[in-house]
Structure 1
Amino acid sequence: MVVSASIQALIAGEQVAGSKLNSKLRDELLAEGMLLVTSRGSRKSYRARDTEALKRFLIDKDENYRMLEVNASDSRASMAAETGNSKLVMVRSCPGFPVNSYEPIECLLDGKPFVVNPQEGSFLFVSDWEKFAIPEDVVVTGIENMENFRMIRKQRVFFEEYLQAHKLSDRVLFVSRYPQSTDLRRWLCTISNHYLHFGDFDLAGIHIFLFDFQQYLGKERASFLIPGDIESRLKSGSSKRYDEQYCRFKDIKSDVCEIQQLIDLIHRERKAYDQEGYIGL
């Protein structure tokens, strides 16, 4: 499946003419509240209300949408013809994923020494990810939200206490799957390191972990970061987001006890909590 240029445009925050969208998918997105409508006479155009929410919805709807990238066979001409914006073809001009750390991690890139130690206020991007190797004792921590990813130093104590409590290595490489692609997961499948997933504490966030990561890496290698104070934090979470996600994710379950307990807790509190709440601890 090649994701259409019109969907790529919506994900990129562009406005798309109604005639360019599949009518069935358009109606479904409208029903889910994913699109904003602009009318000019009889013509309508659409824009994503929340590009990240739209991305999650599409991925959860059909695993083929995990590609969410411009196929290499798509030319600038065809992209411009469908969306009027040829620059969208650049969305996959640089494959790979960002990496970050709050202390030096000695890695290899194409067999040569490559130290991940970005200055505060910056991070690195590994484009040649197939040739990227890390020490076996490093815990790879995936962070869903870019604000958390950028500000790992403000969360250092939080991570160190969690890793120590769960008897995991204190050497950590932080990664993100931004921009959205399968590159990160494909790389994770080639290494043996433990993967710790840090995402939002809501049904959609758990679904992302279970179906985008755990089912590929296995329960022994992949775990979901669940803070000890999440029950108290959920009490001040968002009931609106829980309600928005309920119909699609109400039946989500896990045979990992800790994750199922978190799912039960979310249902009991009927709330969702953003991971950004842990910045600055």
Structure 2
Amino acid sequence: MAVSTSMQALIKGEQVSGSKLNGKLRDELLAEGLLLVVFHGSRQSFRARDVEALKRFLTDKDEKYRLLEVDASDSRASMATKTGNSKLVMVRSCPGFPVNSYEPIECRLNGYPFMINPQEGSFLFVTDWKTFIIPEDVIVIGIENMENFRMIRWQKAFFEKYLQSHEFSNRVLFVSRYPQSTDLRRWLCSIPNHYLHFGDFDLAGIHIFLSEFQQYLGKERSSYLIPDDIESRLKSGSKKRYDEQYCRFRDIQSDAYELQQLINIIHRERKAYDQEGYIQYNPLGK
């Protein structure tokens, strides 16, 4: 199946009319934060927020997009001539996902002990994720925004207070989906640990959790991190972002009481709030 002309245009950095994009794929890319909306009166067009991030997401989603990793001037025949194997274009060069922690966690990788204890200002990237094993009492917190992921020590007090109030273990491994792929979700499905999703407090963020994580992990093994003060914070949130997301995600619902309450508050306030607001800008989290 060939890649559509509209998707090829997006990958080239061009604007594409909304009517030319597949509706389901468009909504998925918007929810992932990969598209920007450009208004032309009552009409909408879209362009990639980050072309490389869009390509990474698409190539992991469907093998047909992997051909996009080859330059237009590079055919399979020429690739075979250069490397002796045309199938090399089907291989992702860097599978896996980043991990972080503010306290040492002894894990296992490829059957050997693997200590996760990154120095402040760094994090680790697990590529052989199928052999990555963590202690069963560790809570996995998935962080959507990279700034929050990099600065976990600056949010330590926030996380510790939340985990204690919800009777979770205080042993935490932080993970990220960057670059966007299904590797993280597939790893989560292979382990018994509870997954706690920390994303933006908006309809698109909740959609990502419900569609990309909870439907695969189930309600017993996954939940959305909802701070106690989120209602007051939403009052100073972004009305513009709520309005942009409303048409696509206005009918989103959850049968988890706390998450549905968050959805109700977002609709009542007609605002969205970024998770970066919880960075305390204190490296010790005190």
Normalised to the residue count of structure 2, the TM-score between the two structures is 0.77
Q: Do the aligned partners of 1:5 and 1:70 also contact (CA within 8 Å) in 2?
A: no
1:159 equivalent in structure 2: 159
Counterpart amino acid of residue 226 in structure 2? I
1:15 equivalent in structure 2: 13
1:67 equivalent in structure 2: 60
Report the number of matched residues: 253
Tell me the CA shift for residue 24 of structure 1.
1.8
Matching of residue 48 in structure 1 with residue 44 in structure 2: no
Cα deviations by residue, 1:62-95 (Å, 9 ceiling, x for unpaired): xxx693476696386565569xxx9xx7993100
1:279 equivalent in structure 2: 279
Matching of residue 34 in structure 1 with residue 36 in structure 2: yes
Q: Do the aligned partners of 2:189 and 2:217 also contact (CA within 8 Å) in 1?
A: yes
Q: Give the whole-Å Cα distance in 1 for the aligned partners of 2:210 and 2:22.
A: 27
2:114 equivalent in structure 1: 114
Mark the CA change 1:98 to 1:257 in structure 2 (over 3 Å): closer, same or farther.
same
Q: Do the aligned partners of 1:102 and 1:152 also contact (CA within 8 Å) in 2?
A: yes
Q: Give the whole-Å Cα distance in 2 for the aligned partners of 1:91 and 1:273.
A: 38
2:192 equivalent in structure 1: 192
Tell me the CA shift for residue 16 of structure 1.
4.4
Q: Give the whole-Å Cα distance in 1 for the aligned partners of 2:64 and 2:98.
A: 21
Q: Give the whole-Å Cα distance in 2 for the aligned partners of 1:249 and 1:276.
A: 22
Q: Do the aligned partners of 1:110 and 1:131 also contact (CA within 8 Å) in 2?
A: yes
Counterpart amino acid of residue 74 in structure 1? L
Counterpart amino acid of residue 13 in structure 2? Q
Mark the CA change 1:251 to 1:17 in structure 2 (over 3 Å): closer, same or farther.
closer
Q: Give the whole-Å Cα distance in 1 for the aligned partners of 2:198 and 2:2.
A: 29
Which deviates the most, 89-98 or 111-120? Answer: 89-98
Q: Do the aligned partners of 2:66 and 2:90 also contact (CA within 8 Å) in 1?
A: no
Q: Do the aligned partners of 1:107 and 1:115 also contact (CA within 8 Å) in 2?
A: yes
Cα deviations by residue, 1:196-240 (Å, 9 ceiling, x for unpaired): 000000000001101110010010100100000000000000000
Matching of residue 204 in structure 1 with residue 204 in structure 2: yes
Tell me the CA shift for residue 51 of structure 1.
3.7
Mark the CA change 1:49 to 1:157 in structure 2 (over 3 Å): closer, same or farther.
same
* 1:253-268 matched pairs, under 5 angstroms: 253-268=253-268
Q: Give the whole-Å Cα distance in 2 for the aligned partners of 1:153 and 1:264.
A: 31
Mark the CA change 1:167 to 1:17 in structure 2 (over 3 Å): closer, same or farther.
closer
Q: Give the whole-Å Cα distance in 1 for the aligned partners of 2:2 and 2:131.
A: 26
Instruction: State, as a whole percentage, how many aligned pairs show the same letter.
Output: 66
Mark the CA change 1:79 to 1:73 in structure 2 (over 3 Å): closer, same or farther.
same
SS at match of 1:133: coil
Tell me the CA shift for residue 7 of structure 1.
4.0
Mark the CA change 1:215 to 1:26 in structure 2 (over 3 Å): closer, same or farther.
closer
Q: Give the whole-Å Cα distance in 1 for the aligned partners of 2:9 and 2:91.
A: 10
Mark the CA change 1:79 to 1:98 in structure 2 (over 3 Å): closer, same or farther.
farther
Counterpart amino acid of residue 198 in structure 1? F
Tell me the CA shift for residue 34 of structure 1.
3.3
1:105 equivalent in structure 2: 105
Q: Give the whole-Å Cα distance in 2 for the aligned partners of 1:261 and 1:75.
A: 42
* 1:136-175 matched pairs, under 5 angstroms: 136-175=136-175
Q: Do the aligned partners of 2:136 and 2:193 also contact (CA within 8 Å) in 1?
A: yes
Mark the CA change 1:9 to 1:99 in structure 2 (over 3 Å): closer, same or farther.
farther
